Amino acid sequence: MKKKLLIALVVLAVVGCIAFVAFKIAGQRSVSTSLLTTPFASAPAEVKTQVDQAAAAIKAKDYLGSVKALKMVADKGGLSQEQKDAIGRTLSDVSGMKLGDNADAVTEVILEIQTKLME
């Protein structure tokens, strides 16, 4: 368990560094909600609803709400690799956004999701 947590922390640090560099080079990034929602098009209704809520929260720049919705999806389990990749890409994009006062909370939830996706 400690090894998985350490790996998740390293992955998060690398993703954060890459996101920071990309942000500095390209300016404000955006999060593609279509890249998130497409792999969940045929998912069960309760999963699709959570993904749609995450996408709506992203569009509203409510990044804490979006990662909390994605955490519920990850906690449910049974995700395909394509769905896991879509969530991972979205988390990477979100980590590169200006998170403001919620930065610590968003980062904590992202770490929890990444750990769950690695199980």
Higher-scoring residue by pLDDT: 102, 46: 46
In angstroms, rounded to a whole number, what is the distance separating the alpha carbons of residues 106 and 52?
18
Each domain of the chain, given as residue ranges in start order, spans 2-118
Average pLDDT over residues 44-53: 94
pLDDT at 25 over 70: no
Look up residue 114 and give its two tokens: 């990444």
pLDDT given at position 2: 73
Q: Looking at the chain, how many residues does it have? A: 119
Q: Which of 10-24, 61-75, 87-101, 103-117 has the lowest mean pLDDT?
A: 10-24
Non-local CB neighbours of 75 within 8 Å, separated by 6+ positions? 116
89: exposed, middle or buried (C-beta count within 10 Å: 0-12, 13-18, 19+)? middle
Closest CA to 13 of 94, 92, 117, 106: 92
pLDDT at 115 over 70: yes
Q: Which tens digits make up the pLDDT trace of 84-111?
A: 999 999 998 988 888 888 889 989 999 9
pLDDT at 9 over 80: no
| % the chain with pLDDT above 90 | 54
pLDDT given at position 102: 82
In angstroms, rounded to a whole number, what is the distance separating the alpha carbons of residues 87 and 70?
7
Average pLDDT over residues 15-28: 56
